[in-house]
Amino acid sequence: MLFEYFIFGVAAFVMTGAQCEMTEVFAEAGSQAVLPCKCSSSYSYSPSIIWTKVNSGTVWRKQKSGLQHWGSSWYPKGLQRARCPHSQFERGDCSLEINNVREEDGGVYSCKVESGHKVTENVISLRIIKVSVSQSVAIWGTEVSVSCKVTPWPYGAGVQWMLNSSPFVPLTGIPSVEGVVKERATEKLTGNWTCMVGYKGKQGRASATLTVKGIIQPSKDNTKVYAAVGSEVTLPCVFSSGLIPSSSAWEKLKPGSGFNKPAPGRLPASFSPSSPSTQPSLDNSASLREVGFEDEGRYRCSGIVEGQRLTRNIQLVVAKIESSITSKKKGSMALICKLTDTSEVTDYEWVHVVYDNNGTQSFESIQKGKTLSISKVSEENRGEWTCRFSGKEGILGNVTYQVQLMSGLSGQKSSSLSHNTAAVVGLSILLVVLLLILVQMYKNHQRRKRIFQYPALETIVHTTSNEREERERNREKK
Ligand SMILES: *[C@@H]1O[C@H](CO)[C@@H](O)[C@H](O)[C@H]1NC(C)=O
Ligand SMILES: *[C@@H]1O[C@H](CO)[C@@H](O)[C@H](O)[C@H]1NC(C)=O
Ligand SMILES: *[C@@H]1O[C@H](CO)[C@@H](O)[C@H](O)[C@H]1NC(C)=O
């Protein structure tokens, strides 16, 4: 009997020695772990199987007779957590299944199959992966950590994070220990976090979800809101459901003030919060009834949630159309689409809005570019001209100009121009007349001067005529 035990021991030692290679098994906490163990199917009779956990005793064992036995911790309250399905024995599979694995289940297991004098042993290392988040619902701006715990930790293993099925690139780079991600909570961190552990060619993974709450609309700081001069605009500020800010407020930030310490300025006259601050609500959006060009700039919405002050900066960009009479081409005018901030604008498009006799609106895209040059006299160009501006993600907004009014103005201008021409013509005629008179006067003057040049000749002419008269008188007397 003693000899037999000795042989047994040696055999076991040899077997263990030969199978020094451990099988690595990863399992996510809470899931089912399967510890593989091969048992030859050529047994003429039922083998005895013993599953043990190193340093903590028997898990499950089956005697040759078929009698099963569970370790006390594996059969709590009549619920068997570990089992070795009989149906698999014939196929040479004596794997152990452990349901709802816990961190403390991590460790080294041994599967010993004894058939007559033949003993085979498999050694399995079970590692439990658990992902935990510091808080499953985090408030925007607070520090959150997501950690990946592997029990026992596989030294030299590589840990990778996936967030919503794509590799996670740390945002803030807060230094952390291996397997831990520390970030300031933003909506980007919301989702399914998966930790992937690779070790000795085997891979394990575990997941957890994180929800970040805060101001959901707009989702980003310094979001731009576009509005045309004179239009009504809404500045959005909506909190996540379940978050009702205790004291919400709006302020306009002075231009040029730094990011950290912005000085509040005055809110425009037409500014009105959608709900009174005394009545807490998820929606704290505000509106400007009539946007002025000078209302552009940064606005800040804020509210206190769970002792944490949440803020969102919104930039109001105002658009207008300026017209100018181009000096180069006569009878044409230029419309210029002007925005207080053009950093996101990539394209301008001019659209002519035409109404037919039935009042149906139709759009006609005319040209691209910031400036539109049109003939102001042409009847076709009457109506609404809209400048549509767009960015990378599509149309950002539009601003409209009425050319009808302009044609009226230009008509007045042309009529005043004709008045001027008449005056000029009249003046010219007057000048010509004056000139003619002057010329006539000069001529007369010149003639008189010519006569005075010969006074003697005049006397001679005079005397001869006198003599002739005398002679004739004498002849009459005769
Ligand atoms: C999280 O992602 C992992 C891996 O992509 C997936 O297996 C798991 O089902 C996901 N969990 C949830 C709650 O979406
Ligand atoms: C305008 O109305 C008239 C009569 O109601 C119709 O015959 C014509 O087709 C309409 N034109 C357009 C452009 O809808
Ligand atoms: C301008 O914007 C308003 C509001 O978004 C829209 O209703 C209108 O159709 C737009 N006009 C043009 C010409 O795109």
Q: Which ligand is nearest to the CA of 206?
A: 1
Report, in this order, helix, strand and coil percent for the chain, each rounded to 5.
25, 45, 35
Closest Cα to atom 11 of ligand 1: 192
pLDDT at 5: 45
Enter the DSSP assignment of 221: T
Closest Cα to atom 5 of ligand 3: 397
**Which stretch of 233-237, 265-269, 300-304 has the lowest confidence by average pLDDT?**
265-269
> Pocket around ligand 2: residues whose beta carbon is below 6 Å from it?
356, 358, 360
Q: Name the token pair of 477.
A: 């007397």
pLDDT band at 282 (very low <50, low <70, confident <90, very high): confident
Cis peptide before 152 (omega within 30 of 0): yes
pLDDT band at 406 (very low <50, low <70, confident <90, very high): very low
Q: Name the token pair of 278.
A: 């005394």
**Which stretch of 98-112, 114-128, 254-268, 270-284 has the lowest confidence by average pLDDT?**
254-268
**Which stretch of 347-351, 425-429, 469-473 has the lowest confidence by average pLDDT?**
469-473
Rg of the chain (C-alpha set) = 51
CB atoms within 10 A of CB 87: 7
Residue partners of 264: CB distance under 8 A and separation at least 6: 251, 252, 253, 254, 300
Measured distance CA(110)–CA(16) in Å, rounded: 10
CA 26 to ligand 3 center in whole angstroms: 58
Q: Is 110 in the pocket of ligand 3 (CB under 6 A)?
A: no
Closest Cα to atom 3 of ligand 2: 358
Measured distance CA(385)–CA(353) in Å, rounded: 6
Q: What is the pTM of this model?
A: 0.58
Residue at 472: amino acid letter: E
Enter the DSSP assignment of 13: H
Q: Which ligand is nearest to the CA of 357?
A: 2
Give the position, in ligand 1's atom list, of the atom nearest the Cα of 192.
Answer: 1
pLDDT band at 153 (very low <50, low <70, confident <90, very high): very high
Whether the pLDDT of residue 363 is over 60: the answer is yes
CB 81 within 8 A of CB 75: yes
Give the position, in ligand 3's atom list, of the atom nearest the Cα of 363.
Answer: 13
The candidate with the shortest Cα–Cα distance to 368, out of 340, 343, 345, is 345
CB atoms within 10 A of CB 222: 11
pLDDT at 468: 66
pLDDT tens by residue, 412-434: 333 344 455 566 667 887 888 88
Higher pLDDT, residue 16 or 239? 239
CA 80 to ligand 1 center in whole angstroms: 28
Place of tokens 């709590």: 76
Higher pLDDT, residue 201 or 45? 201
> Pocket around ligand 1: residues whose beta carbon is below 6 Å from it?
165, 192, 194, 207, 209
Measured distance CA(447)–CA(443) in Å, rounded: 6
CB 94 within 8 A of CB 84: yes
The candidate with the shortest Cα–Cα distance to 288, out of 342, 236, 248, is 236
Q: Mean pLDDT over all residues of the chain?
A: 81
Give the position, in ligand 1's atom list, of the atom nearest the Cα of 209.
Answer: 13
pLDDT at 217: 87
Q: Name the token pair of 437.
A: 């008179």
Determine the average pLDDT of the residues in 322-341: 82
Whether the pLDDT of residue 151 is over 80: the answer is yes
Measured distance CA(36)–CA(82) in Å, rounded: 13
Higher pLDDT, residue 251 or 409? 251
Closest Cα to atom 11 of ligand 2: 358
Q: Is 46 in the pocket of ligand 3 (CB under 6 A)?
A: no
CB 291 within 8 A of CB 252: no
Sign of CA dihedral 387, 392, 395, 398: negative
**Which stretch of 58-62, 222-226, 253-257, 370-374 has the lowest confidence by average pLDDT?**
253-257
pLDDT tens by residue, 218-246: 988 899 999 999 999 999 999 988 888 88
